[in-house]
Structure 1
Amino acid sequence: MHMADALVSPAVGGIMLAASAGAIAYSAYKCKDDLDEKKIPLMGVMGAVIFAGQMINFTIPGTGSSGHIGGGILLAALLGPFPAFLTLTAVLLIQALFFADGGLLALGANIWNMGFYACLLVYPFVFKAIVKRGLTPSRITVAAIVSVVLALSLGAFSVVLETLASGITELPFMTFVGLMIPIHLAIGLVEGIVTGGILVFVYKMRPELLESSVENTKLPKNISIKKVMGTLLIFAVVVGGGLSLFASANPDGLEWAMENVAGTAELEADGDIYSSAGSIQESTAFLPDYGFKSTDGDGSAAGTSVSGIVGAGITLILAGGTGYLIYAIKRKKEKAS
């Protein structure tokens, strides 16, 4: 559901960038008090997992469309809402800058649509409400499915509102929303099942991880999460470097809806801002569309595998580094006082 720059006007792109920047700043502020230092390495590992997971598009039977995980609910359940939002922001930033996945002008909209609803709205008010009587595999699964479907639907509806506010006449509101919501309900169902499965797996390995996020408490000092992190890191490498080769070639939910409404998934936009954003992205994206740069634009298996592993590695460093930076600033202020 990564929006391209052509789907947002400069005004809407600027507003959404400001809104997302505010959410990022607030999340960083909250992390100064709420961030569990034992989960900082997990921020990096989970960032790598989500980056790799988003490379796999799964087919939605009978539609000609595909979808990929958003990852917000999964991140929030393991890290807490605010570290999760910062981690997903890192994923989307790296995708836009280094892989040309999602536009730079649309980056604020993508962060809001994929991160805000899942991490800062649905997880604290829906996921927690479902599991408040106690974490069990069945409750975790139900909470994951309901939360992911709701978060993805809110994000899909926001895409439609943003195109409407941007004056994208090729995508009439009623027709566009009539396709976006149903296809993302189907995508959300699949992602919800996957999310529930991963969370149940982690819960059986180390239940304290999910419990600490739900209760907003820190992990006990005698609890080690190295085994969980090692398992998740191996998962990220296998998915990004291997399973990504088998991703569906069908257009994702947003592209599918656009093709059915406007007849194309690649709308054109003219203007200096669009040109500048495109030029910046072209210069920074060293693996555009998750493949090696080439004159003919054809991808390769090697390019996809390298993209998955390199992208996961960069995300691990950025997401984990963000957590360490926040923690270091907090410790410095504590010592100064």
Structure 2
Amino acid sequence: MHVPDGFINAPVSVAAGVAAAGAVAVSLRGARRELGGSAVALAGAERTAPLAGLVAAFIFAVQMLNFPVFAVGASGHLLGGALAAILVGPFTGVLCIAVVLLMQGLLFADGGLTALGVNITVMGVVTVVVAYALFRGLVKVLPRGRRSITVASFVAAVVSVPAAAGAFTLIYAIGGTTDVPVGKVLTAMVGVHVLIGIGEAVITMLTVGAVVAVRPDLVHGARGLSTPLKLRIGGELVDAEPAAAPAPVAARSPRKLWLTGLVTALVLAGFVSFYASASPDGLEKVAADQGIDKNTEEHAAAGSPLADYGVKDVSDPRISGGLAGVIGVGATVVVGSGIFWVVRRRRTTDAGPTRVPESV
């Protein structure tokens, strides 16, 4: 759903850019809490920070894997807002998607640079807000447990995609550069992206489920969802009194999960992406069918050596695409990790040192 230059006029693109910048600014403040944490949530939050850059890189890799939507002759790819929000938190999730979109726009000429604000708003802010609000609502009413987290992840992800399609249609209705009835655009966009949302939901559910199965302590959306121990007293179930807190020990390192995730992202982007569907994605299909792509402008980074996810002067398409994917994953994890490290460090500096009780 990467909006190219020329779909939306300049005033609305600027306004969307201002809105996106505001959302990123708010997210930077919120991410300080999610990554640096208060004294209460410090243990989980500190271990989230190293994973945020990886989440951005993983989303970049999976977005290269367009899957076919045979019913409409199009393809779809992960948007990633729901996945990022559930794994590392909604504020950090917005930043993850913003980093991915920035890398795609600057390095790979994917998604217009003048439309960057539109793309961050639609693919980042809307998907994260809708998905995380729905996810939190569901986990409050579903039975506590890992299965509820995966079910809530599926529902939140499947709804977030047509919500993003509706947001794009609203922006098009205000600032579209072609004269196509908004009702036709809305029907086509939502119809295609409901189907794409199913693929998004499956990917999100499987990924969240896999991480929860091995390291539930690292999943932002799983914090505080453990089921309290029950005791049967006088024929009634009552909550057991919590055990005394053990002396602090070194937190389990997320290094193994980080390395596994990075290798997975590299394999997906460097090898599996060659087999991705070549059909136009949902927005491209609707734009071509409805005629809203008549004023598409050439991308400002069209001359990039990595434009269109290929390495310039490398003739073999498999090698060219694979190298581009590996470079993209590497660049995203470096830039993302750097940003999140700075955010977390600033939070730690602002909050001052946290006193850790001595073990006895």
Q: What TM-score, normalized to structure 2?
A: 0.83
Q: 1:148 touches 1:188 (CA, 8 Å); kept in 2?
A: yes
The residue that corresponds to 1:27 in the other structure is: 27
Q: 2:177 touches 2:295 (CA, 8 Å); kept in 1?
A: no
The residue that corresponds to 1:248 in the other structure is: 277
In the aligned structure 1, how far is the partner of 2:206 from the partner of 2:187? 30
Q: CA RMSD in A?
A: 2.3
The residue that corresponds to 2:94 in the other structure is: 85
Q: Tell me the amino acid that sits aligned with residue 8 of structure 2.
A: V
1:110 to 106, 119, 123: 119
The residue that corresponds to 2:189 in the other structure is: 180
In the aligned structure 1, how far is the partner of 2:115 from the partner of 2:60? 18
In the aligned structure 1, how far is the partner of 2:326 from the partner of 2:207? 20
> Which structure has the larger Rg?
2
Q: Tell me the amino acid that sits aligned with residue 19 of structure 2.
A: A
Deviation of 1:137 (Å): 4.3
In the aligned structure 1, how far is the partner of 2:262 from the partner of 2:161? 25
Q: 1:4 touches 1:103 (CA, 8 Å); kept in 2?
A: yes
The residue that corresponds to 1:147 in the other structure is: 156
1:189 to 193, 198, 213: 198
The residue that corresponds to 1:120 in the other structure is: 129
**1:100–1:292 Cα change, 3 Å:** same
The answer to whether residue 289 in structure 2 is matched with residue 289 in structure 1 is: no
The residue that corresponds to 1:199 in the other structure is: 208
Deviation of 1:62 (Å): 2.4
In the aligned structure 1, how far is the partner of 2:19 from the partner of 2:176? 20
The residue that corresponds to 2:62 in the other structure is: 53
Q: Tell me the amino acid that sits aligned with residue 307 of structure 2.
A: P
Q: 1:144 touches 1:193 (CA, 8 Å); kept in 2?
A: no
Moved more, 324-333 or 130-139: 130-139
Q: 1:78 touches 1:209 (CA, 8 Å); kept in 2?
A: yes
CA deviation digits over 1:89-113, x for unaligned, max 9? 1000000000000001110111111
CA deviation digits over 1:141-170, x for unaligned, max 9? 321222112211111011112222114334
The answer to whether residue 263 in structure 2 is matched with residue 234 in structure 1 is: yes
**1:246–1:198 Cα change, 3 Å:** same
In the aligned structure 2, how far is the partner of 1:322 from the partner of 1:135? 34
Q: 1:44 touches 1:87 (CA, 8 Å); kept in 2?
A: yes
Q: Tell me the amino acid that sits aligned with residue 290 of structure 1.
A: Y
In the aligned structure 2, how far is the partner of 1:66 from the partner of 1:151? 17
Tell me the secondary structure at the aligned position of residue 251 of structure 2.
coil
* Count of aligned positions: 320
The answer to whether residue 276 in structure 2 is matched with residue 267 in structure 1 is: no
Structure with the largest fraction of helix: 1
Task: Structure 1: give runs of 5+ residues left out of the alignment.
Answer: none
Q: Tell me the amino acid that sits aligned with residue 135 of structure 2.
A: F
In the aligned structure 2, how far is the partner of 1:186 from the partner of 1:95? 24
Deviation of 1:84 (Å): 1.3
Deviation of 1:190 (Å): 1.2
Deviation of 1:222 (Å): 2.1
In the aligned structure 2, how far is the partner of 1:46 from the partner of 1:259? 32
Q: Tell me the amino acid that sits aligned with residue 284 of structure 2.
A: E
The residue that corresponds to 1:307 in the other structure is: 324
Tell me the secondary structure at the aligned position of residue 59 of structure 1.
strand
- Runs of 4+ in structure 1 deviating by more than 3 angstroms, as ranges, are 133-138, 211-216, 331-336
Deviation of 1:303 (Å): 1.5
CA deviation digits over 1:247-301, x for unaligned, max 9? 0011000011112211xx74325xxxx68xx44x245x3300101336xx98811
The residue that corresponds to 1:42 in the other structure is: 51
Q: What TM-score, normalized to structure 1?
A: 0.88
